[in-house]
C-alpha cells in the first residue's frame, strides 16, 4: 500500500477498496516500526490522524470527497498547527502550541487530508543537513550514515522511507530541492507568493516559500492544486486563480528548449554526479527536446548575496522570540535585558545565533549600504541573468546539489563549506522563480537529483517536463531496500 502513488491511493479510496482509517493505520505502523532509525518526525499525531481519517471515510461514503480526501501526509514542523506542538526544530519552541493553523494546514484539512505528524527540520530552517535540529539529526533512508539534506530533511526522509506518501516542505535557499535530491524525491519550490506564508514560521520573508515533496511530479501536482491560492492573511500572497497542474502533465515536450548553464557544470561538481546528469539530458533529447548552452555569469555571487539578505531578514524576524509572549524563557532573569539575552542565548542553537548575528551586523549603523543595500542591488543582477537566459530557452537544467548526500558530522563545524553546497539552488530564491528537483539516478550508491528551473509561474511546465521524464525512467519509484 505504501508504494502506491497518490492517484492510485485516491482511486482505491474512492472505489471503497480501502478505507482512510486502514491507510492511516498502515502508515502509522510504519512510522512506529521504522522512525527509530531515521528520527524524521518530531511529533506523531496518531489520535488526530485517525479522527481525520474517520471524517474522511464519512466524506468518501457521502460522496463529498475530493481527490486527496483520506490521503495521509506529514507536515514540516514549521507550519503552525492549532493544538499540536510546532517546534520549528528549536528548543525555543519546544513547548509552543500555536493558537491557529497555517493556511497550508487549513487547506490540507479542508481537502480532507490526514496529518500523520510533524517532521523534523534544521532549526528555524537554517541548515542544509538537518543536523542543526534541537531534536537531533535525521538519517537518510538510502544510507543511515548520510544526511538527508535540509532544512526539510525530516519530510524528505519520511517520504523516501515511505512513512508518509507525501509531505510539505519549505524552501528559502534550497530546503525543499536539496533534501529531495539527496533522498531521491521530487520536490517543488513554487514561484514566490503562490503558497501562503501565513502560519509558516518566518526565516527570511522575501525568500521563504512552501511546497510539496513526493515521489513523482504527478503527486506534487496534486498537492500543489490543494495548497496554492490567494490568501488575504499573507501580504505577499499573489492574487491568481489556482492552476490545474495535473491536466498539463501529459503535454509533449517535443521542441522544448533546455538551457544548460555552463556555470552549473564547472569546478565543485562531483564528476560522477555530472555523468548521471549527462544521461538525463540524453533522455530529454530522445523525447524531442533540444539542448543549448546558456550562461548565468554572476551565479557565484548568489551565496554571498544570500548570506547577507537571509540573515538580515532572519535577525529581524527572530527578534519576536524574546522570552516574554511565548516560547522559551530562562530561569531567574535579573532584569529585562538579562531575560532577553539568556532566553535567546539558551533557546537558540549555534547556527541560528550565528545567522542572527550576521544579520544584526549587516544591518547595524554604518554597514547597511556596504552589505544590505549592495546585496539587494546584486539580487537584481542575479535576477536579470535568469531573465536573459529565459529569452533563449524555456527551462534551465542542472544539478540540484554539487554532491550526493554527505556523511553526518562531515561539514557541521565549517559553516562556509556547508553554505557552498547550496550553490545551485540559492539564486532561484533570490529571483523568486520556481524550480523543481527530481530523481536522476545514483552515484556512489546515493541518489542524484536534477534541477529544472523555470520562469515565473512555469510550475505547470516544470511538472509536465518532470512527468514526461518519469514516464520514461523509474528512478523516482525506487525504495531504499531497508524500508521496502
Choose between 91 and 341: whose C-beta lies nearer to other proteins. Answer: 341
Residues 258-297: x/- map of binding to other proteins (CB under 8 A)?
Answer: ----------------------------------------
Segment interacting with other proteins (CB under 8 A) among 52-60, 261-269, 369-377, 445-453 = 369-377
| Binding positions for other proteins, 378-407, rule CB under 8 A | 378-381, 383
Report the C-alpha gap between 70 and 55 in whole angstroms: 8
Active site includes 421?
A: no
Single out the residue of 304, 412, 471, 479 in contact with other proteins (rule: CB under 8 A). 304
* Annotated catalytic residue, options 20, 128, 151, 216: 151
**What binding mask, one character per residue, do residues 49-88 give for other proteins by CB under 8 A, x or -?**
----------------------------------------
Residue from 126, 159, 375, 462 that binds other proteins (CB under 8 A)?
375
Q: Does 194 bind other proteins (CB under 8 A)?
A: no
**Cβ pair 127, 151 in contact under 8 A:** yes
Burial (Cβ within 10 Å: 0-12, 13-18, ≥19) of residue 254: exposed
Is 342 a residue that touches other proteins (CB under 8 A)?
Answer: yes
**Helix or strand or coil: residue 223?**
helix
Distances (CA, A) of 337 to 293, 322, 346: 56, 10, 14
Q: Does 334 bind other proteins (CB under 8 A)?
A: yes
* Dihedral sign (CA 245, 249, 251, 253): positive
Please say if 282 is a catalytic residue.
no
Marked catalytic residue, from 19, 175, 315, 421: 175
Binding to other proteins (CB under 8 A) within 85-114 occurs at 95-97, 99
User: Site for other proteins (CB under 8 A): which residue of 262, 456, 471, 478?
Assistant: 456
Site for other proteins in 407-446 (CB under 8 A): 415-416, 419, 430-433
Out of 3, 250, 252, 324, the residue judged to bind other proteins by CB under 8 A? 324
Side by side, the strands of the sheet bearing 257-261 are 41-44, 114-119, 72-76, 167-171, 209-214, 186-189, 435-443, 446-454, 395-399, 257-261, 290-294
Residue 246 annotated as catalytic: no
348 makes contact with other proteins (CB under 8 A): yes
- Strand 114-119 and strand 41-44: the pairing is antiparallel
Q: What is the largest CA-CA distance in the chain?
A: 70
> Which has the closest alpha carbon to 305: 254, 249, 381?
381
The vertex-434 CA angle with 431 and 435, nearest 5°, equals: 110
One of 371, 406, 424, 469 touching other proteins (CB under 8 A): 371
Report if residue 360 touches other proteins, rule: CB under 8 A.
yes
Rounded Cα distance between 144 and 327, Å, is 32
Catalytic residue IDs: 76, 151, 175
Amino acid at each position: 500500500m505504501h508504494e502506491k502513488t497518490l492517484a492510485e491511493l485516491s482511486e482505491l479510496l474512492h472505489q471503497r477498496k480501502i478505507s482512510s482509517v486502514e491507510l492511516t493505520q498502515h502508515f502509522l505502523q510504519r512510522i512506529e516500526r521504522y522512525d527509530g532509525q531515521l528520527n524524521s518526525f518530531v511529533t506523531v499525531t496518531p489520535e488526530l490522524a485517525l479522527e481525520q481519517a474517520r471524517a474522511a471515510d464519512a466524506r468518501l461514503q457521502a460522496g463529498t470527497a475530493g481527490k486527496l480526501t483520506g490521503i495521509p501526509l506529514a507536515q514540516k514542523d514549521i507550519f503552525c498547527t492549532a493544538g499540536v506542538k510546532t517546534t520549528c526544530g528549536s528548543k525555543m519552541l519546544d513547548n509552543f502550541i500555536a493558537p491557529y493553523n497555517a493556511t497550508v494546514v487549513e487547506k490540507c484539512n479542508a481537502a480532507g487530508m490526514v496529518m500523520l505528524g510533524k517532521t523534523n527540520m534544521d532549526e528555524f530552517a537554517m541548515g542544509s543537513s538537518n543536523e542543526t535540529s534541537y531534536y537531533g539529526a535525521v538519517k537518510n533512508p538510502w544510507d543511515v550514515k548520510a544526511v538527508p539534506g535540509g532544512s526539510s530533511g525530516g519530510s524528505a526522509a519520511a517520504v523516501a522511507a515511505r512513512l508518509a506518501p507525501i509531505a510539505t516542505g519549505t524552501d528559502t535557499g534550497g530546503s525543499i530541492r536539496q533534501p529531495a535530491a539527496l533522498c531521491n524525491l521530487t520536490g517543488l519550490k513554487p514561484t514566490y507568493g503562490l503558497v501562503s506564508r501565513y502560519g509558516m514560521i518566518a526565516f527570511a520573508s522575501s525568500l521563504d516559500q512552501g511546497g510539496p515533496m513526493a515521489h513523482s511530479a504527478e503527486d506534487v501536482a496534486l498537492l500543489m492544486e490543494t495548497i496554492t491560492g490567494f490568501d488575504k492573511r499573507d501580504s505577499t500572497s499573489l492574487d491568481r486563480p489556482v492552476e490545474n497542474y495535473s491536466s498539463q502533465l501529459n503535454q509533449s515536450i517535443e521542441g522544448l528548449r533546455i538551457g544548460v548553464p555552463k556555470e552549473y557544470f564547472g569546478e565543485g561538481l562531483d564528476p560522477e554526479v555530472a555523468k548521471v546528469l549527462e544521461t538525463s539530458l540524453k533522455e530529454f533529447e530522445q523525447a524531442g527536446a533540444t539542448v543549448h548552452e546558456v550562461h548565468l555569469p554572476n551565479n557565484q555571487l548568489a551565496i554571498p548575496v544570500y548570506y547577507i539578505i537571509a540573515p538580515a531578514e532572519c535577525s529581524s524576524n527572530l527578534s519576536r522570540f524574546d522570552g516574554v509572549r511565548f516560547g522559551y524563557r530562562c530561569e531567574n532573569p535579573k532584569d529585562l535585558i538579562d531575560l532577553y539575552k539568556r532566553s535567546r542565548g539558551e533557546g537558540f542553537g549555534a547556527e541560528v545565533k550565528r545567522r542572527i548575528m550576521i544579520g544584526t551586523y549587516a544591518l547595524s549603523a554604518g554597514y547597511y549600504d556596504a552589505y544590505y543595500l549592495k546585496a539587494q542591488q546584486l539580487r537584481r543582477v542575479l535576477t536579470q541573468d535568469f531573465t536573459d537566459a529565459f529569452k533563449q530557452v524555456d527551462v534551465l537544467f542542472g544539478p540540484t546539489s554539487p554532491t550526493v548526500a554527505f556523511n553526518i558530522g562531515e561539514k557541521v563545524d565549517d559553516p562556509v563549506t556547508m553554505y557552498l553546497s547550496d550553490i545551485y539552488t540559492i539564486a532561484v530564491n533570490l529571483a523568486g522563480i520556481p524550480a523543481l528537483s527530481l530523481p536522476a539516478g545514483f552515484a556512489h550508491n546515493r541518489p542524484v537529483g536534477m534541477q529544472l528551473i523555470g520562469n515565473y509561474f512555469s510550475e505547470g511546465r516544470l511538472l509536465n517536463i518532470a512527468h514526461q521524464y518519469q514516464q520514461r525512467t523509474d528512478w523516482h519509484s525506487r525504495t531504499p531496500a531497508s524500508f521496502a
